Amino acid sequence: MAATNGSKHQTIVRPLQYRDIDAIASLCQQATIPDPAVKAQIEQLLKQMNRWYAPFQFLNTIPTPNFTDRALLVAEHEQQLRGVISVSPFNRTRSTWHVEWVSLVNGSARSPEDLQAGNPVEITGKNDIGSQLLRYCFEHIVDASTWVLEVDVNDNSALALYRQNGFQPLAHLTYWEIAPELLKELAQREPDLPNLLPVRNTDAQLIYQLDTVSMPPLLRQVFDRQIHDFKNNLVQTMVGKVKEWFQQKQSFSNYVFETQRKAAIGYYRLSLNSDRQLSTTENRQPHQAELTVHPAYTWLYPELMAQLARSCQYLPSQPLQLVSADYQPEREEYFQQIGAVRVKHSLLMSRSVWHKLREAKHLSLENLQIAEMLQSLQPSRQPLPNRIEKNDAEDLS
């Protein structure tokens, strides 16, 4: 199903087709995607689609199937590709969706061939292509009640586009990078973590409680995570291990268990890049870590960072990248103290599908026609007098 406007030259929003793969791959390489992991996943998805559909090039207009939950939609104006949007569910219940990437073609790029030639690509406010892509997702993905996205604080055109379509800021995110020399220094310290345990599906309740208590109520409501968001089935685990083996990556997660309270007070997920060839190139990929600490146990930061540094010491010399939010002042203070480098600032934004209420006209009693309104309440005949019993008359007296 495609969305169009009412003008003479219609803009069509439709699913991705085989003929769009090369142009979108070029867009993905040139555009700035906030999350590097999302960019790598989109590039891998496009390569997978291209490999599957290469023998059927004569069927270049058939829609490509979704290999994942990620949805890629394109905007076509005058039979030319004008923009692309990538969205995916944020939680298992699919009540919150994530706008991963919105990229528009400026006026100088008139065709997918121009995109492959290296013409500049940017989000522009001169047209409403981006708004049409967003509105199409809002209207046709009926499961989503809330939308979230992340945008660079310096990308004014993207901020204007998202604010125009009802997105409001939730939190400021800071990306930190720890240099390999600093990781070696942190690894010399012996971490004091006697109850560090690997995460299993049976621990989903503990991780869910830790995730709930570690964020403000507004973010908790927007993310709408449940216990099954922290569980992985056997098929997902096996597929993830196979992908990591091909991509030469390692990932594992652990948590710190508090025996007295029977609760998890710290959690981390570490994704290590074990490709030694990337460590000698300029485009090396840093190790990625996701860190969650209970607000009452901030003394865990030095211990967990020492554990993360020890996990990286036997791999190629690459930096470690983490993120902190403005509602985590202890984490940002610790990163500043150890000498971590800020590499990026971004803004987390959200939008509810029901964020606007239709304005009602101001009503006053003077404008109401009382006589006309009460016409249906007039009696159709004269009421008949009722006989009052003796006991009722005595009660009334």
Q: How confident is the chain (397 residues) per 10-residue block, as mean pLDDT?
A: 54 81 72 64 68 53 54 84 88 92 64 44 54 91 92 90 93 94 92 92 94 94 93 78 73 93 94 65 74 94 94 85 94 94 94 58 47 56 58 53
- For residues 319 and 178, give the distance between their C-alpha atoms in angstroms, rounded to a whole number: 5
Q: Is residue 311 part of a domain?
A: yes
Verify that 151 and 23 share a domain, yes or no: yes
Residues 223 and 239 in one domain: yes
- Listing DSSP states for 302-350 in one string gives HHHHHHHHHHHTTS-S--EEEEEETT-HHHHHHHHHHT-EEEEEEEEEE
Domain identity same for 138 and 157 = yes
3-state secondary structure of 123: coil
**Domain final position from 141, 166, 191:** 166
Range of the domain at 41: 11-166
On whether residue 396 sits in a domain, the answer given is: no
Total domains in the fold of the chain:
2
Residue finishing a domain among 166, 192, 224 = 166
Bridge-based pairing state of the strands 196-198 and 249-258: antiparallel
214 and 126 in a common domain: no
Q: What integer pLDDT is reported at residue 364 of this predicted model? A: 45
Q: Are residues 336 and 214 in the same domain?
A: yes
Separation CA 303–CA 309 (nearest Å): 10
| Closest listed residue to residue 87, CA positions, set 46, 137, 150, 161 | 137
pLDDT of residue 122: 41
pLDDT in tens, 266-312: 999 998 887 655 544 455 678 899 999 999 999 999 999 999 999 98
Q: Is 202 among the domain residues?
A: yes
- One-letter amino acid for residue 59 of the chain: L
208 and 328 belong to one structural domain: yes
Structure tokens at 237: 């685990």
Are 129 and 87 in a shared domain? yes
Alpha helices in the chain (DSSP H): 21-30, 36-53, 112-116, 129-140, 156-164, 180-187, 204-213, 217-223, 234-247, 300-312, 329-338, 370-373, 390-396
Same domain, 64 and 88: yes
Indicate whether 133 and 249 sit together in one domain. Answer: no
In a domain, 373, yes or no: no
CA distance 58 to 56: 5
Kindly report the CATH number assigned to the domain that includes residue 328. Answer: 3.40.630.30
156-197 confidence digits (pLDDT tens) = 888 999 999 999 999 999 999 999 999 999 999 999 998 999
Residues 30 and 112 in one domain: yes
Per the CB < 8 A criterion, the answer to whether 118 and 125 are in contact is no
Q: Which of 327, 345, 363 is the last residue of a domain?
A: 345
- Are 148 and 226 found together in one domain? no
Residue 371 counted as domain residue:
no
Please give the structure tokens belonging to residue 83. 């923009």
> Is 220 in the same domain as 148?
no
